[in-house]
Amino acid sequence: MKTCFFSGYLLKASPGVKSLFLLPVFLLLPDLIYAQEPASQDSLDIAGKVMGLHFTKSERDSLRTGVKDNLKSYLRIRKFDIENDIPPAVIFNPILPGMTFEQQQEVISWSYDSKLSRPQSDAELAFMPVMKLASLIKNEKITSTELTEIYLERLKKYGDTLQCVVTITETLALRQAKQADVEIAAGRYKGPLHGIPYGVKDLLAVEGYKTTWGAMPFKDQAINETATVVSKLEAAGAVLVAKLTMGALAWGDVWFGGITKNPWNPAQGSSGSSAGSASATAAGLVGFSIGTETWGSIVSPSTRCGVTGLRPTYGRVSRHGAMALSWSMDKIGPICRSAEDCAIVFNAIRGPDPRDATLKDLPFNYRNDINLKNMKVGYFKSLFERDYGNKQNDSLSLKVLKDLGATLFPVNLPEDIPADALAFILSAEAATAFDDLTRNNRDTLLVRQIKNAWPNVFRIARYIPAVEYIQANRLRYLLQGAFFKMIRDYDVIVTPSFGGNQLLITNLTGHPCVVTPNGFNENGSPASISFIGNLYDEAAILAVASMFQHATGFDEKHPPLFVK
């Protein structure tokens, strides 16, 4: 079994993966196949063996005409230039029959502090969480323009050191900040994000700026539209100061300009794929940031950089204007310095968009006055009992929750369904999203060309049979049901951020997760713990995470090299 970080998510690949191949495999084995007649007996025999199938000579003979006809269809389809933003007609739905959800939206009360004073140090100001920055702006103790200029200066000072910035959007930022100041002075305050500078992962399109997807083939790409998430943040009055780095095509922390650094240890990468978003937030270069997750791309860099990340329920936040990697698994969420900040940002970016058919318009009733004694909290007992690196911090975190009044109930992940075997769903969809790179040989332009990198994964995925992909999604449906049966009796499940299959399972089922710092490892690097919630119940896990943070204060720790 081999383990690697794959787009910031944990991938476990076994030799058995080689049996998952595309039915018309003879089309893609030039050395073995094209030396022969494309649908010859030998070609079909090789294809069958690659897929773990055996057909008799007469059966292979009967296949030949149909296989040739399929090839003609493939070639006809390839004549169409299908852009990355065109989704498949088949749409993943995390909701199973019988599920019910809260329908009434309540008014959310944010905790402004009218007595808060502006700190003398600009660095201290830069590290303040959104709610405190909002208190200062709302009470006119600082202007958005002043705050924006501080963050722009820090981006210029530290951006190259951390290699976390693709584009500083200075002209746009100063214009938005000035507009915010005028509106606030006129009494048209929009809420806690009004005037707050932020950055976005560079897979979100912003009109007038490049959207590079972190990859050499797209380093000069300009998309003539603005992503819905960015538009919603603009409507909330937020100020976009930078487009931040990401691992090339959403894998890891290596992009076409280098390796994004961890502010706690600049000799180390920040993990990924929301590499720049986590790094810039941790280093106080932005007030908050936007990341994405398919399989750990928010959880992993948030852990590495010691910040708080929210992976929302699948179908909560519009992906219009975002690079597609896996249509059935991609999710957009905030990376911030506190759980309450994540709640504020999530509240602004969630909701309907006619351009994303996966969205569900359901309420978000966040409260910061919960009582853990009134909540049912589970924990993955077997995962906490393992021998693993963050065991001590995680054990102390469970004690904190108990001290706060929680009764912890042991629960187990579904074990009957082999979640690892479903991982190629992501590979198949990613290879489809970037099919043109493989067929046009432009995948050679990507910086990472090792075995465990996109170019090779895309080629492998060409051999995944359509039948196996659909079968895997049918098993995924059963996994959804098994996980729902486990989690439905609980408000929150506490889990180690890594280990076991929980990260893969919850990304496949679409469940939300909050990851928050819970201490440091023996090398002085941040560690984390995660809270998993029911579908569309981000409010519960954010509230529990916020209570945990108030009790521990780990979210208030900042990398010493950048606190100046």
Inform me whether the pLDDT recorded for 245 exceeds 50. Answer: yes
Average pLDDT value for residue range 328-354: 98
Average pLDDT value for residue range 260-286: 98
What pLDDT score does 16 carry? 38
Provide the pLDDT confidence category of residue 37 given band limits of 50, 70 and 90: low
Domains and CATH numbers, the chain: 122-416+476-562 (3.90.1300.10)
Q: Do residues 246 and 274 make contact, with C-beta atoms less than 8 angstroms apart?
A: yes
What pLDDT score does 40 carry? 85
Task: State pLDDT tens for residues 153-193.
Answer: 999 999 999 999 999 999 999 999 999 999 999 999 999 99
What pLDDT score does 10 carry? 40
Which DSSP letter does residue 17 get?
G
* Secondary structure (H, E, C), 425-450: HHHHHHHHHCHHHHHCCHHHHCCCCC
CA distance 338 to 343: 9
Which DSSP letter does residue 154 get?
H
Average pLDDT value for residue range 267-293: 98
CA distance 502 to 515: 13
CA distance 436 to 21: 19
Inform me whether the pLDDT recorded for 329 exceeds 60. Answer: yes
Inform me whether the pLDDT recorded for 308 exceeds 80. Answer: yes
Helix (H) or strand (E) holding 509, with range, is helix 502-509
What pLDDT score does 38 carry? 65
Q: What angle do CA 456, 460, 466 make, to 5 degrees?
A: 150
Q: CA nearest 90: which of 434, 469, 439?
A: 469
Average pLDDT value for residue range 526-533: 98
What pLDDT score does 424 carry? 97
Distances in Å between the Cα of 549 and the Cα atoms of 17, 302, 311, 537, 544 are 41, 15, 18, 19, 9
What pLDDT score does 218 carry? 98
Q: What angle do CA 185, 189, 190 make, to 5 degrees?
A: 150
CA distance 348 to 340: 13
Provide the pLDDT confidence category of residue 467 given band limits of 50, 70 and 90: very high
Average pLDDT value for residue range 85-108: 96
Inform me whether the pLDDT recorded for 514 exceeds 80. Answer: yes
State the pTM of this model: 0.93
Inform me whether the pLDDT recorded for 34 exceeds 90. Answer: no
Provide the pLDDT confidence category of residue 41 given band limits of 50, 70 and 90: confident
